[in-house]
Amino acid sequence: MEQRVGEVVFHMVFDGDGARVGAGSAVDPAVVLSQSRDTAVAIAQGELSAEEAVLNGLTVVDGNPLALLSHHSILARANDVFAEVRARTDWS
């Protein structure tokens, strides 16, 4: 999975050990999510859900979004892992 937030690009790789996050583009990503910084901040601050962002066209999904379903539990845990980072981030 690749995530593009404005000019910032990072990716997650899922394997038998879980998931890893890396800077830059993914090699042959199954799905690419693209959004503005404002949308990413709204999601991170809980003002907008990721689902709402997709449904309202604020996040563009390229590739096979069904590929994410098989990694739903890992993605949910990743959200928990980054909770402290979000709490300490100055979003201005």
pLDDT tens digits along 3-52: 999 999 999 888 877 788 899 999 999 999 999 999 999 998 889 998 99
- Give the pLDDT of residue 79: 66
- Beta-bridge partners for 10: 3, 23
Alpha helices in the chain (DSSP H): 37-44, 50-55, 72-81, 83-88
- Give the pLDDT of residue 90: 85
Cβ 66 vs Cβ 56: under 8 Å: no
- Give the pLDDT of residue 3: 93
What structural domains does the chain harbor? 2-88 (3.30.1050.10)
* Tens digits of residue pLDDT in 42-89: 998 889 998 999 999 999 999 998 888 877 777 766 666 677 777 888
